[in-house]
Amino acid sequence: MTVRDSENDLRKRVRAGERDAFAELYDQYAGPVHRHALWLTGDWTTAEDIMSETFLAAWRARERLHPDEGSLRPWLLGIATHKAENTRRGLRRRLAFLARQRQPPVVADFAPEVAGRIDDARRLHAVQASLDRLKRHEREVLTLCVWSGLDYQQTAEALGVPVGTVRSRLSRARAKLARFADEAAAQERAEERAEKRAENWEPRAARGEMTGEAALAALPVREETA
């Protein structure tokens, strides 16, 4: 049996409501769905919720699957993309509400397991800061193509848009994200030079070097286009 035949077989079994097939689907794609949700939201707990909601929605919509369209990955990531956007809208509403309330005192969390996530959290924050400057459609295409590894056709299937639209949105997203990274890097170098001048010490700048959060945010795109 070819890979395509195997994928269509799983698709047909899921469509028929076989619970074993759905368990197999979960085992195969829970990781990619969670990672995609994490890139879109920047939060582990939210990504886990989106992953759960995605598979629940997939189970409910299983009968609408076409039996012969290959991998179910674009379908699942498309559901996750819409769930993540709904979550972002809900979060914006909650933040707007909380901004109008009296702020409770901040209690530091000293749980040992938090320490191991500090660096990852910084990286996610850097990426999210740049992604949030993109338009929603650009952000969705970028995460599906670059970080989730879908090709143009699969991304078009996930989002329900033409392949040409995927290409143009991805091109704009790459250009913008690279520009944001360059701007952030220039700002960071300017701040470093100001600090050094205040200390009466000016080191030689490394030409063409990009450091800090800007580099972290731009890294996936620059690797993709290399």
Kindly give the confidence (pLDDT) of every residue in the chain, 226 residues in length, as a single tens digit, with 9 standing for 90 and above: 787 788 889 999 999 999 999 999 999 999 999 999 988 888 888 999 999 999 999 999 999 888 777 789 999 999 999 999 888 775 555 445 445 555 544 444 444 444 445 455 566 666 677 777 888 888 889 889 887 888 999 999 999 999 999 999 999 988 888 888 788 778 878 888 877 777 765 555 555 554 455 545 555 544 444 4
Residue 111: count other Cβ atoms within 10 Å of its Cβ.
Answer: 6
pTM of the complete model:
0.63
Eight-class DSSP state of 148: S
- The predicted structure's pLDDT at residue 113: 46
- The predicted structure's pLDDT at residue 3: 75
- The predicted structure's pLDDT at residue 197: 76
The amino acid occupying position 125 is: H
Q: How far apart are CA 57 and CA 54, in angstroms?
A: 5
What domains are defined for the chain?
Answer: 1-107 (1.10.1740.10), 113-226 (1.10.10.10)
Q: How far apart are CA 30 and CA 130, in angstroms?
A: 26
Q: How far apart are CA 218 and CA 137, in angstroms?
A: 18
- The predicted structure's pLDDT at residue 87: 83
CA distances from 35 to 147, 169, 197 (A): 8, 21, 42
Q: How far apart are CA 219 and CA 181, in angstroms?
A: 9
Assigned token pair, 150 = 């879908």
- The predicted structure's pLDDT at residue 178: 82
3-state secondary structure of 71: coil
- The predicted structure's pLDDT at residue 53: 95
Radius of gyration of the chain (CA): 21
Q: Nearest to residue 221, comparing CAs of 170, 168, 183?
A: 170
Q: What angle do CA 69, 70, 71 make, to 5 degrees?
A: 125
- The predicted structure's pLDDT at residue 189: 83
